[in-house]
Every structure is written in structure tokens, then in C-alpha cells.
Structure 1
Amino acid sequence: MEAKIKAFMDEVISRNGHEPEFIQAVQEVAETVIPYIAKHEIYNGKNILLRMVEPERLISFRVAWVDDNGDIHVNRGYRIQMNSAIGPYKGGLRFHPSVNASILKFLAFEQVFKNSLTTLPMGGGKGGSDFDPKGKSDDEVMRFCHAFMTELCRHIGPNTDVPAGDIGVGAREIGFLFGMYKKIRNEFTGVLTGKGLSWGGSKIRPEATGYGTVYFAQNMLKTRGEDIKDKDVVISGSGNVAQFAAEKVLQLGGKVLTLSDSGGYIYDADGIDEEKLAYVMDLKNNKRGRISEYVDKYPKATFHKGGSPWEVKCHIALPCATQNELDGNDAKALLENGCVCVAEGANMPSTPEAIHAFHEAKILFAPGKASNAGGVATSGLEMSQNSLRISWTREEVDERLKGIMKDIHDSCTAFGTEEDGYCNYVKGANIAGFVKVADAMLAQGVI
């Protein structure tokens, strides 16, 4: 079996050797899915996985825009349309200087499995630009978004490709993007999700990824007769996902000890309660401040410059910042400090060494394609509401989100539970996501 996996990866690397993030994502899937394929004759010889790792379409385009001083800037825009076997492409747009084809291909590949796990009819895609909205005026962001959509609009549509937000793309950016799409196409359709509530958005969409991550962790803990109540929780990041993961932990009776950004992390031994979290939300969302400013407001807390929240003693860890933020040494520190559950809120935040350590210790570990699927699940619900021209209540959407996260958890346990009773959620998520897409691809022939 190792020879089969190696032969497959050698072919992938020969085509994508300059894309480390993408190769890492494919390697994780290959190690669990190829043994499953070998045991099921229906998939043998069909090269399904090889077809899945090749994007159906990779679009790259120039984005020229004018800043407030009248100077012209040029950025690169992308849309990776990875797989549409079970529905229109669906996945976020990311505006960040780190954006390149490798990162977007890994995100699009993960999105295929994530969307499949939600049970909603959505294919996988991802896109974005190396444009950095930080430090830009609203007018500059608007001009960039309008220029970006002028090209992107010819590749998307409600039955073709439905982008959403991601890092650097929030409600402001979605509004600007939607406005230009509507003007060019002369139609009001649900071509973007994450819209404002007054013009087609879904309730709890901003909260959904963070809430869903915590709901998934709660389902994992239940398998061992535990829950989040009275548990110490460390969270990385302080953006949208981290904020709402913290909010849901507090609602379920847990204690949040940390939040972080690229400068370091804050540790509050008394816990980050609702009042303190509201301050963080205002600091990060409205004032564009740094998490270090938290200790000015709450001096009992400490700021650890350049440090990692994974060195803090906890029961539950929620990595909600970015890819590969939690390495093997971090995993060792978490395990030594009594961590029993890790649920990924970000995309691929744990390195292979960290994941291996978690599995060796047989703690509860959820990969992002399963535990952070709440965001895209609620985007799917937004698409349904747009198609039906209705709006569900906050409670209705939240209940549907809870149900979807439980269904994802149950699918993972169905395919990931091993002979000794331990559930390998990585294996379960990969196989469950693969089966639905693979069956659809087989039914549609070689296309």
C-alpha cells in the first residue's frame, strides 16, 4: 500500500512540485483514501483521486486599480474551480499578501471534501488575490473590489460558481463585489454568500464557522461522556472565526484563556468573558487594533510577544488563525499540559507532525475540513434561502447548523472508527467526503 501511495504522490509532485501547501493537503488525503479505494472494486482503475487533485479550471487574471493618490497598482487575481461533481463550485475569496496558486489549490482541494461532508449540493472552489486590504481606505478597497469583479464576473454565477468571504474579505468587501456584479450582469442573484441581512444574507453567517467548530468539538466530547462546560479552552487568532468560537464556548459554559494575532497572544487567567470578548470584537473589527492592546484595558492579563497559545495548560484547543500554525512541538506541549480535544477552526492549521502526535496519544482531533465546515454549510443555507426568496430566523439557521455539524461528526465516526474503538477523524472525514464526490464522478463518466 505504501508503494501505491508513493507512486500516486510522485505523480502529483511531478506536476505540482512548487506548491508545498497543496502537496501537504493531498498527501493527507492520499494516505487515508488510497487504502479505501484498494478495498472497493468500484473505484479501482478509475483514477478518481488523480482526477480530483487536478482543478477543473484554474483562472488567473490581472487586477489594476487606482489608490487615493491617483497611483495605479497591479495585483493578481485567482479563481480555482476544483470540482463540480455534486454542485456548483463553492468556496471563499481571500485577500492577503500570501495568496498564491499553491495556497488556493490546497484550500480548493480541502473545500471539495468539506462541502461534500455538509451533505449540501456544493462543489469545491477557492479564489482571491495578493491584495492586502489592511491600511487601505474604504474607497481604495471599493475600487479594488470593483476591478476584481470586472474580471471574475465572467466566470461565476448562481448555478456555476458561488464565492464567499475568507481572510481579508468580510461584509464590506462582499458588498462592493456584489454591487459590481449586479451592475455588470443587470441581475440580482445569489451569486455571493456572506451578504448583508438587508439584501439576501443569512442570519448567523458571520458566526457559523466559529460556532460550528465548537459544535463539532462538543459532539466529539460527547463520545467520551464529556462536554465543554467548565473546560479551559485556548484559542488562536482573534478574527471572525476565533471571536465566535470564543462566544459559543462561553455560551456552553467553557472558559476561554487566550486569543492571538501575528504579534503574539494574550493570556487571561480569569477568563475572557462576554464583556472582554465584546472589547476584542470592537478592537479588531472596528478599530483594526492589535491584540496586545487587550492588556492595556485588562492589566491582569499578560501579552506574550511572538509566543504560542499552545504552551498554556488547557483541556480544549481551537486553532483558528492560519495554516501550519500548530507544529509537532506545539502538539507535544498541549499533550503534556493535559489537552484532550483539538478542533481546527482554520484550514490545515496543524502540521503532519502535530496530527501524528495527536493520533499517537489518541486524543480527540478534528481536521478543519470537518470541524470548520459550519461556515460553508451556512453559506449553502444562504443559497437555499436566496433561491426560495425567503429568510429563516436566527434560531432556524442555528438549529440547521447544529444538525449539519452532528451529521458531519456521525459520518466521520462511521468511516473513521478503528478496531480498538478510537475514531480517526482525519480518516473518517477524508473517506466520507471522497465517497460522495467519487460516486458522482463515476455516474457522470469521464469528463
Structure 2
Amino acid sequence: MYKVLLIDDEPSALEAMQLWIDWQALGFEIAGTCTNGQAGLQLIRELAPDLVITDVNMPLLNGLEMVDAWQQTGGRDTKFAILSGYSEFEYAQTAIRFGIHHYLLKPLFPEEAAEELREMYRELEREEHSRKMGRLAALEETAAVIKGLLYGKPEGTLDGGSAAALSAGFSCWNVLLIQTDPLNYTEVRGKAAAMSAGEAGMVLADLEAYTCAVVYGSTAPGEGNTAAARIAEELRQACPGIPLFIAAGDSIPELSSIAGSYLRAKEALQYCFYSEPSAGLLMFHDIRDTPLSRDYDHIRLADVLIGFVNTLDLPGFRREAEAAASSFREKLVSPDTVKKFVIHLVYKMRELVPAPEAGQLQRKGTEPPAILITTCLHLADLWNICWPLPRR
């Protein structure tokens, strides 16, 4: 619905416009009415109507003087239409100089007025579509620049107005990484985009591996942590039942240095491999002093597991695999290291085990094992792709 303001110094004319025209059916709602141009200026400021329909001859400030005064202020872009009698047609000609191309004849005939209002509605729709496309293009341009900054490879710069609007009032910047599985990424990304679109100093950028980044500004590091927790909680509430892994980096003072915050958030996100999808937000400062390990006896583990494969001892294989999962979790072995080991093991199993038995040890899918494994977000999911184990 578009908001309309009606202005006429004749109470009967105002009443007729409200009663004889089905505004809702035409896509409008009456936001307010008044009886002179001076009051009209005040209501335009307060109500921000999309359309103002005004009489010309009024006390204090006539309709055209009001339009001129509003346009001189450089205020909100508002569409105007005038009410004009047959004897006042010269006013309609003057109105054209103010960019007014619509008028309603007095006395008002509902059918004629409705047709004119339908045309005004179509114009408002076209203008709104154009504004949306402009905002979308600006958002995409900003997101592309931010993505380049995250990767440390700037691919352009924001124009002065966009840069000022984005950074105004913020002295700290941080990155929130949001990751989910391929099936749910579009929905999660859409929810995150809707949340960031209404926030000042916040930009969403699509990254790799079903991950998006929310870059956000704050006035202090502590406030940034609070904002990250709020965004994470709101997103979880908006996506019930969807696995979400969310991590934040460290605040930095300059948006141009956001790559450092991104790398720390990416490091923190790796620890989600061992946490539950509903575990909440993981901050970099929570894991700063707990480095991931690459220390494990992969040769012994591979020999033991392959031994169970050779003897087709599925219970023994599962026991050892579960013990390995517990060891990985306890030692916080790097997820990439675990995935590389599992990929190697799965291909060795394929070489050694006949197809029927291999089907018991590995779930078949349409994608190659390496792709399925590298896109796993959680240790239990990784194990269940290859050999079902209870989730811890």
C-alpha cells in the first residue's frame, strides 16, 4: 500500500475524496488530511507520504506554493497531484513546471478519479522497482568490494558516498562467518541477507563452501561482540532445525584491514567441526590459546582399519573408527587433516573390498567421496558418510 495525503480547504471535498474512492482497492491508504499548504508541509515531513493530492486555492499557502517550498528543501522525493476545477486549468499548466503531471478534476467523479489514480499507482510501482534495482546494484557492488577486502585482494573501491554511509559512526569492524550444509544454504543466506539489509554498517558477502560472511561495524570491541551474539541468536531462531556453525574474528579499527579479522574468524570456524550445530557463537578469543593439532599416528590407524576391512570385521572396524573419532576430538586434530586421512582411507577401502561389502562400510552417493567428505561440517557427519557412528 502507498500512503496518500489529501489537502483541501473545503471539508466537503475532503469528505468526498475519502468516501467516494475505494483507496484500498487502488493500492493506497489515506495517511492523513489537512486544509492548507502550511499544514501540508508539516504533514509531509511527519507522515512521509508516497503521494500528495492537493487543492490549488487554499489559505496561508496554496497548493503550488507548498509544492515549490517542499521541493526547495530537497526533502524526500514525493509524488504530487493537484485538484483543479475547469476554471483553474491555468494552474495545471503551472504545475507542470514543478514536475506534476497528474490532476483530478473538480467536481470529483469516482470513475475518472480511479483511472487517474491507477496510472499514478503504476508510476509509483515503476519508480519503486527502479529504486530497488538501484539499491540491489549498490549492495552487490559493496558486497563485491567487501569480499575482495576479506580475501586481501581488493577488486575496486567504494565511492565516497557509499564508503561514508557504510563507515559512519563506527570505529571497529569484525567478521561473522556463517556456515551450513548445501541443502539449507540458500534459506540461511536469505535470512542473513534480510537481517543485514536493515542494519547500518553491515554487509553480507557470499564466500566458498556454503559459507557467507557478515561484516559489521561497532563503536567499541565489546559492543561488536554483543552484536555478533545477537546476530547469531536471531539467525538460529529464524532457522530452527537447520545446522548452523557460526564464528567471529577479532575486532579491527579499519575496514580496509578486515582480512585479518576474516582469517581469525575462519580459524575459529574450524573448531565447530567438534562442536554441536546448536552450540552457539564461537569467538576467536575463545580458541586463541587452543591451537589445532596435526599430531596423530595415521600410519598405525590406517593399518588397523584396513586390517578390519580385509577380514570384513565390521563391528571391529566401527569400534576402532569410534575410538579414532574420540582421539581426534580430544586432540583437536585439524579438520582438514582428518578429512584428508578419511579420503585416503575410503579410496584404499574401495581398492580392497568387493562391491557388496564396500556398500556396508561406505554409503554410496552420486558425488565422489572426496567431494562429500570435504564439504562435511562436523566430525559425526563425516563419519556417518563413511561408516555410521553415534553422534557425540
Q: In proportion to residue count, which structure has more helix?
A: 2
The verdict on a shared fold, with TM-score over 0.5 as the criterion, is: no
Which TM-score applies when normalising by structure 1? 0.22
Q: What is the TM-score when the length of structure 2 is the normalising length?
A: 0.24
Larger relative CO (CA 8 A, sep 6+): 1 or 2?
Answer: 1
